[in-house]
Amino acid sequence: MRYEKKSSWAKHFDFILLDLICAEIVIFLCYAFRNGLEGTIVSKNYGRLALLVGVLFICIVFFNEPYSGILRRGYLKELWAVLSFNAILLAAVFTFLFAMKMSADYSRIMLFTFFIINSVMTWFLHVMWKREIRKRTYHDGKLNRMLLITKREYVHQCVDRLMKNPYGSMRLVGIVLMENGERETEEDSIEGVPIVAKWSDYIEYCKNNVIDDVLFYLENEKLSDEIEELVDMGIVVHVNLVQLKENYLAYRVETINGIMTLTTGINNVTQWQLALKRLMDICGGIVGIILTGVIALIITPVIKVQSPGPIFFTQTRVGRNGRQFKIYKFRSMYMDAEQRKKELMASNKMNGLMFKMDNDPRIYPFGHFIRKTSLDEFPQFLNVLKGEMSLVGTRPPTLDEYKQYEPHHKSRLAMKPGVTGLWQVSGRSDITDFEEVVRLDNEYIRNWSLSLDIKILFRTLLVVVGKKGSV
């Protein structure tokens, strides 16, 4: 019989509940130590603080995804993860109290004490609870015992993947090698997992031993008779659908109008993650458009004097998977900049399909300033509100650049382009190799999360304030 796996939220609900209870107990003890037990129980201030900690805790869990991979983290990584989470929680509490003018009602020493004690207690609980999970997981009565049937050329790759997660629901107890001509093997185990039978007698082995699941890891093999025989024995059978590369393990089974498919891509994201990213874009876009209006009032007279013409520059760019759109910027170049670009290609400092040069003569004097301060990028918030761009993404190429792309270059267009991105905060124009830009963009897409977007936004502020890497 096959049981459905828990969802990711249900999977780590035990840690979430444990941490929330721990945080509430610690904040109670810290407040009581500061203000007395009786004063804490009847205090409205404590009630507000306890509610605030609980609400912010849930929000951070929802946005920051701190429990991803928690079972695979070692002691030091777990400590760092706990400290990071509690630092974010403390910063959020301080920010809320300051914004609501309530900071005078609460002791800063008490809040910092909460941070230290809660970090230690949470880390200790995580370590102990993971030890308990490991103990229960490896108990023979709790794990499904699985037999792997594969060929020699696949066995090491498959065993590596199966053994990666020590907290999985199955235990690999044996291997059967499907050898051509029943060739005997001198090996008695593969990476510590015993070879328990030959292809000709694996059914007999399954009949005489405890086997819950059988995994066929093969390619283009007809297995209908074998599968039927195992299912008739009450064994759950798994058959790999395709041979997937290590870099493309983000796959899922879908049904498209009644057609069952194995779907994979550079990354998988959920609808709620996309909805939250879009909500962030709308909120950031509204703020950005307001700032754009203020900036326009200040810089328009200077632009008109130094380079008569429109203050906005529009250009066709390429967005997600090749979609074209008009990008908006404050104009930082003379009106004939596009015509002069061909003359300057010899001075291109980029190695690849982008154009950048130091001391570009097409930029008028004040244009250097608005580029150095990244003020020219602000009108792109209109593209963000229109849904053509995101706050964080990859740089949208020009049509000329896009037409020269090799197939692997197009992977950087798998997400919406962004006003900022990973490569912009990793060096900006200091990076002169286009392949490095592609690598960083792919790294961003493969590892995308809401928390990564927030980190990049903060790093962007630091880069812009420091004027690092601008041209």
pLDDT reported for residue 412: 86
Q: Is 263 a domain residue?
A: no
Same domain, 115 and 160: no
Answer yes or no: do 361 and 236 share one domain. Answer: no
Pair (180, 116) in one structural domain: no
Clarify whether residues 224 and 125 are in a common domain.
no
Alpha helices, H only, 36-138: 37-42, 44-64, 75-99, 108-137
Distance CA(99)–CA(267), nearest Å, equals 37
Q: Within 13 Å and on the Cβ side, how many CA atoms surround 196?
A: 21
pLDDT tens for each residue of 379-389? 999 999 999 99
Domain presence at residue 3: no
In a domain, 389, yes or no: yes
The pLDDT of residue 3: 44
Are 160 and 113 in the same domain? Answer: no
Residues 155 and 128 in one domain: no
| Residue 15 sits in the same domain as residue 117 | yes
Specify whether 118 is located in the same domain as 164: no
DSSP for 443-471?
HHHHT--HHHHHHHHHHHHHHHHHTTT--
Domain boundary at 243, 261, 290, which? 243
**Residues 184/131, Cβ–Cβ less than 8 Å:** no
Consecutive 10-residue averages of pLDDT for the chain (471 residues): 48 85 92 81 82 90 77 84 92 89 86 93 92 68 79 84 68 82 61 86 85 83 80 82 57 67 72 86 93 92 87 90 90 73 60 62 81 88 93 90 84 88 72 79 87 88 66 42
3-class SS of residue 388: coil
Residue 446 has which token pair? Answer: 């493969």
Q: Is 158 found in the same domain as 128? A: no
Q: Write the CB contacts of 205 (distance below 8 Å, at least 6 apart in sequence).
A: 147, 174, 176, 196, 197, 211
For residue 168, the model assigns a pLDDT of 63
C-alpha 300/C-alpha 198 separation (Å) is 80
- State the pLDDT at residue 132: 81
| R_g of the chain, CA atoms, integer Å | 29
**CA neighbor of 353 nearest in space, from 447, 419, 441, 456:** 441
- CATH of residue 220's domain is 3.40.50.720
Closest CA to 163 of 175, 152, 153: 175
Quick check: is 428 in a domain?
yes
Residue 1 confidence (pLDDT): 47
Catalogue the long-range contacts made by 105-112 (C-beta closer than 8 Å, 24 or more residues apart): 105/45, 106/45, 106/49, 107/34, 109/34, 110/30, 110/31, 110/33, 110/34, 111/30
Domain co-membership, 94 together with 123: yes
C-alpha 437 chain-centroid distance: 18
Whether 248 is in a domain gets the answer no
Q: What is the pLDDT of residue 291?
A: 93
Q: Which residue has the tokens 């596009």?
A: 338
In a domain, 261, yes or no: no
pLDDT digits (tens, 9 = 90+) for 405-445: 888 888 888 889 999 988 878 765 566 677 888 888 888 88
The verdict on 71 and 122 lying in the same domain is yes
Write down how long the chain is: 471
Q: What is the pLDDT of residue 183?
A: 44
Q: How many domains does the chain divide into?
A: 3
**Of 201, 223, 243, which closes a domain?**
243
Identify whether residues 43 and 129 lie together within a single domain: yes
Domain-embedded: residue 462: yes
CA distance 436 to 354: 12
pLDDT for residue 181: 46
Of 80, 106, 137, the last residue of a domain is 137
49 is in which domain, residue-wise?
8-137
Q: Is residue 387, in this structure, part of any structural domain at all?
A: yes
Pairing of strands 189-190, 193-198: antiparallel
Q: Determine the Cα–Cα distance for residues 92 and 160; give it in Å rounded to an integer.
A: 41
Q: What pLDDT is stored for residue 339 in this prediction?
A: 65
